[in-house]
């Protein structure tokens, strides 16, 4: 009797933190997780839609790469998503949870549209574009610096503050869409005829892609080679340490958010001046939130972000194509995207930790 009570039940396995892992192995785990994700979501597709999963995946690919236009559209979407992701990255590295990128992009776009509508036709297009660039950057930066100042001075919660700033931005944009509406009462601005960013070689998309690539490299250098980048990383790791080594924490917070907002402003500029040529409250299209995932998945490394932004843009466009071709609700394609992302994020766990199975000790009687 007593003997059994004393027996400690051994768990089947335990989880231990891995020491540094070879990059080949890490990428092996990531690759395997994607494969499992496709298998698993394949089963879900069969259960929900009775379609052959291979056909569905093929549709996903053809929806992205069917024609030259499609590939350019994918690249442009990747670039725009990447631009917002770059914007949130310095703040995230500093552990400042900027959930307000959506609003900052909108305000950048609103400032751009304001210039296009109010100054269009009155000054030369070249000058107009210069004004648009300045206005969008200032607009985005102002929207980001307000929560940063409150955080620095009063230690307010930046997650809630930036999130709520999104709603203020949405309402502002809806209001101005009314002020500038094209048909009385309709609430839509329509295509603005002035201040379009120039096309390069008769291609609508390439300018956005080039601008964002340049920004990516610049941000990578800023974060890794400059003192600013180092300082914001230290503030993120430990504010006390930062203070101890003489970093002005408040200054770093405000400066970094200024950069974050300015980059969001640029995204707004590219959306309104380079792509849509109109303004409405859905123009940011949720990129401000998707960007958080892009940035996290890439571990805040701007170069990796090219890949994660491409992945997410690819999934989104593919999901849209699936719902068009198979006439199924977009929710189903979103489920597929969700499953695949879940596995990719889950794989990080297995890279950082390992599962050790415990061998059963055979007791000798």
CA 306 to chain centre: 11
Q: What is the largest CA-CA distance in the chain?
A: 97
Q: How far is the CB of 327 from other proteins (least distance, A)?
A: 7
Of 155 and 282, the one with the shorter C-beta distance to other proteins is 282
Instruction: In whole angstroms, give the CA distance from residue 88 to residue 246.
Output: 25
Chain residues binding other proteins by CB under 8 A are 23, 27, 55, 57-59, 61-62, 64-67, 69-70, 73, 171, 174-175, 178, 182-188, 190-191, 275-278, 280, 282-283, 285, 301, 303-304, 306-307, 310, 320, 323-325, 327, 329-330
Of 175 and 226, the one with the shorter C-beta distance to other proteins is 175
Of 62 and 250, the one with the shorter C-beta distance to other proteins is 62
Instruction: In whole angstroms, give the CA distance from residue 266 to residue 207.
Output: 13
Which among 142, 79, 108 has a CA at the least distance from the CA of 272? 108
Q: How far is the CB of 86 from other proteins (least distance, A)?
A: 15
Inter-residue contact 105 to 287 (CB < 8 Å):
yes
Q: How far is the CB of 282 from other proteins (least distance, A)?
A: 6
Q: How far is the CB of 73 from other proteins (least distance, A)?
A: 6
Of 171 and 238, the one with the shorter C-beta distance to other proteins is 171
Only one residue has tokens 């995946």, namely 57
Of 150 and 222, the one with the shorter C-beta distance to other proteins is 222
What's the full length of the chain, in residues?
365
Q: How far is the CB of 67 from other proteins (least distance, A)?
A: 5
Question: End-to-end alpha-carbon separation of the chain, Å?
Answer: 16
Residue 29 in 3-state DSSP? helix
């Amino acid at each position: 009797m007593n003997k059994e009570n004393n027996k400690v039940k051994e768990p089947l396995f335990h989880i231990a933190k891995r020491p540094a892992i070879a990059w080949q192995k890490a990428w092996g785990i990531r690759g395997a997780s994607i494969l499992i994700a496709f298998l698993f979501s394949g089963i879900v597709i069969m259960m929900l839609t009775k379609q052959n999963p291979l056909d569905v995946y093929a549709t996903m690919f053809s929806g992205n790469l069917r024609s030259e236009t499609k590939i350019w559209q994918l690249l442009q979407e990747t670039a725009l998503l990447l631009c917002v992701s770059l914007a949130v990255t310095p703040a995230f590295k500093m552990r400042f949870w900027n959930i307000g990128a959506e609003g900052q992009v909108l305000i950048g776009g609103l400032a751009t549209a304001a210039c296009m509508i109010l100054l269009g036709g009155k000054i030369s297009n070249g000058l107009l574009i210069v004004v648009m660039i300045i206005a969008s950057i200032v607009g985005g930066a102002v929207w980001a610096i307000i929560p940063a100042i409150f955080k620095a001075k009063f230690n307010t919660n930046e997650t809630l503050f930036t999130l709520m700033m999104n709603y203020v931005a949405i309402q502002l944009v809806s209001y101005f869409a009314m002020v500038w509406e094209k048909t009385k009462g309709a609430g839509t601005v329509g295509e603005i005829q002035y201040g379009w960013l120039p096309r390069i070689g008769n291609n609508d998309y390439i300018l956005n892609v080039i601008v964002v690539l340049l920004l990516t490299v610049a941000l990578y250098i800023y974060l890794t080679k400059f003192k600013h980048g180092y300082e914001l990383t230290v503030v993120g790791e430990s504010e006390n340490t930062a203070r101890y080594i003489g970093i002005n924490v408040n200054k770093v917070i405000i400066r970094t958010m200024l950069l974050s907002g300015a980059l969001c402003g640029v995204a707004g500029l590219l959306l309104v001046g380079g792509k849509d040529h109109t303004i409405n409250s859905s123009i940011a299209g949720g990129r401000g939130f998707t960007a958080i995932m892009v940035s996290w998945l890439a571990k805040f490394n701007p170069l990796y972000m090219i890949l994660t932004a491409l992945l997410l843009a690819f999934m989104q466009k593919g999901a849209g194509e699936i719902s068009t071709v198979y006439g199924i609700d977009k929710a189903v394609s979103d489920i597929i995207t969700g499953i695949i992302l879940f596995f990719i994020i889950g794989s990080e766990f297995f890279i950082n930790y390992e599962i050790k199975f415990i061998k059963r000790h055979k007791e000798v009687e």
